[in-house]
């Protein structure tokens, strides 16, 4: 149904471009996948589109890049998503795209980016020779990326601990994480044990051997690009692990299935580089 809504919105914009002309009305085509509230929507177990509240293209001073991805779309190169982001350059006018940028940055990004139709026309000409949609790694490289970005959580019953979450498993709730840091906040006010699945992008800017140091409850699993890097055993094993792996620069799919315990009520993950000896804290350090 949500995919059908996207197609309907696309058809409306194509057949009746005057129907999307002012203020938030131009956002209609975006809302089909990002949701009216900008929090993103799912189709079964996969996202139609992510939350705009945690998007650096919306929250940061990235009006040109936000316009560029609206024009050219984003390829489906991430298994979290059920579809690509469709290019909208043939559907939306310069004025409509400017309205979308102004609306999303003010409503979801916290600061209005006052983009005009003339600005969009300039950027449209600048990117006119780009024939293919963006890859997420290309977009991330144009930012000064955080180590974790586009971070979301999904909450599942605790009996899923230690195993792969399946599309048939029913989540308790889900949402975005504005800080892009691992946190126990998704577990707040929950009256039953649960597993938090964090998903996002791991952005690495240099080739190096990276050491992951994780503290979490038994049954927790760390994955990068669907490869299991470490698993804390459920039968009385350690509550922490260290694992090292070499990576080239780029953006990788990050997933952590976190199980809370009395010893580790919130996830703790640090990343260290071997060659440059840098250390990055990927969890919130303040008590929620």
Write the pLDDT tens digit of every residue in 243-260: 999 999 999 999 999 887
Q: How many other CB atoms sit within 10 Å of the CB of residue 209?
A: 12
| DSSP string of 25-50, one letter each residue | GGGHHHHHHH-TTSS-EEETTEEEE-
Residue 11 has pLDDT above 60, yes or no: no
Q: Residues 92-110: what's their mean pLDDT?
A: 93
- Same fold yes or no, 2-142 and 148-281: no
Q: Check whether 132 has a pLDDT greater than 80.
A: yes
pLDDT at site 21: 38
The SS3 call for residue 262 is: coil
Indicate whether 222 pLDDT > 80: yes
For tokens 């586009």, name the residue: 150
pLDDT tens string 266-287: 889 999 888 877 778 888 764 3
The correct answer on CATH 2.60.120.260 for the domain covering 148-281 is yes
- Which of 119, 104, 85 lies closest to 23, judged by CA? 104
DSSP letter at 164 equals P
What is the percentage of the chain residues whose pLDDT exceeds 90? 39
70 has a pLDDT exceeding 80: yes
Q: Can you state the percent helix, strand and coil of the chain, rounding each to 5?
A: 30, 30, 45
pLDDT value for 219 = 84
Q: Answer for the pair 247, 211: CB distance below 8 angstroms, yes or no.
A: no
Q: Is 18 exposed, middle or buried (0-12, 13-18, 19+ CB in 10 A)?
A: exposed
Whether the per-residue pLDDT at 288 is higher than 50: the answer is no
More confident residue, 125 or 15: 125
pLDDT > 70 fraction of the chain, expressed in percent and rounded: 82
Phi-psi region for residue 55, left (φ > 0), alpha (ψ -120 to 50) or beta? Answer: beta
Instruction: Answer yes or no: is pLDDT of 38 > 90.
Output: yes
CA dihedral over 55, 58, 60, 65, signed as positive or negative = positive
User: So what's the pLDDT on residue 237?
Assistant: 59
Beta pairing partners, 174: 154
Distance (Å, whole) CA 146 – CA 156: 27
Confidence tier at 3 by pLDDT (50, 70, 90): very low
Is the predicted pLDDT of residue 8 greater than 50, yes or no?
no
Name the pLDDT band for 117 (thresholds 50, 70, 90).
Answer: very high
Report the first-to-last Cα separation within the chain, whole angstroms. Answer: 37
Measured CA to CA in angstroms, residue 187 lies from 175, 214, 241 at distances of: 12, 18, 22
Cα separation, 131 vs 70, whole angstroms: 14
Contact 199, 152 (CB under 8 A): yes
Handedness of CA 188, 191, 197, 199 (dihedral sign): negative
Backbone phi, then psi, for 59, in 5-degree steps? -80, -25
Domain range summary for the chain, segments of one domain joined by +: 2-142, 148-281
How far is the CA of 186 from the CAs of 153, 197, 254, 267, in angstroms? Answer: 7, 10, 17, 11
pLDDT classification of 113: cutoffs 50, 70, 90:
confident
Mean pLDDT of 8-22: 45
pLDDT, one tens digit per residue, over 164-192 is: 555 556 888 888 887 788 888 888 877 77
Q: Does residue 27 have a pLDDT over 80?
A: yes
Superfamily classification of domain 2-142: Cytochrome c-like domain (1.10.760.10)
Q: Is the pTM of this model over 0.85?
A: no
Computed over every residue of the chain, the mean pLDDT equals 82
Three-state DSSP state, 48:
strand
Cβ neighbours for 99, distance < 8 A, ≥ 6 positions apart: 22, 23, 26, 27
Tell me, what's the pLDDT at 42? 87
Q: How far apart are CA 18 and CA 83, in angstroms?
A: 27
3-class SS of residue 68? helix
């Amino acid at each position: 149904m949500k995919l059908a809504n996207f197609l309907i919105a696309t058809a409306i914009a194509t057949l009746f471009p005057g129907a999307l002309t002012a203020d938030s009305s131009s956002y209609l085509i975006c809302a089909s996948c990002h949701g009216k509230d900008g929090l993103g929507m799912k189709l079964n177990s996969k996202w139609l589109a992510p939350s705009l509240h945690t998007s650096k293209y919306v929250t940061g001073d990235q009006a040109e890049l936000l316009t560029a991805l609206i024009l050219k779309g984003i390829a489906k190169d991430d298994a979290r998503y059920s579809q690509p982001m469709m290019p909208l350059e043939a559907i939306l006018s310069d004025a409509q795209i400017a309205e979308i940028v102004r609306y999303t940055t003010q409503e979801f990004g916290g600061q209005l980016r006052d983009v005009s139709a003339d600005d969009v026309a300039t950027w449209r000409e600048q990117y006119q020779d780009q024939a293919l949609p963006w890859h997420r790694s290309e977009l991330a490289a144009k930012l000064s990326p955080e180590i974790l970005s586009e971070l979301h959580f999904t909450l599942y019953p605790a009996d899923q601990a230690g195993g792969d979450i399946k599309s048939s498993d029913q989540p308790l709730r889900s949402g975005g994480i504005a800080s892009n840091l691992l946190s126990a906040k998704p577990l707040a006010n929950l009256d039953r044990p649960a597993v938090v699945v964090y998903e996002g992008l791991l952005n690495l800017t240099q080739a190096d051997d990276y050491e992951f140091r994780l503290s979490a409850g038994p049954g927790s699993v760390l994955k990068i690009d669907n490869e299991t890097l470490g698993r804390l055993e459920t039968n009385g094993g350690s509550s922490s692990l260290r694992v090292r792996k070499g990576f080239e620069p780029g953006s990788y799919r990050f997933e952590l299935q976190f199980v809370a315990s009395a010893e580790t009520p919130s996830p703790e993950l640090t990343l260290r580089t071997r060659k440059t000896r840098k250390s990055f804290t990927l969890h919130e350090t303040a008590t929620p």
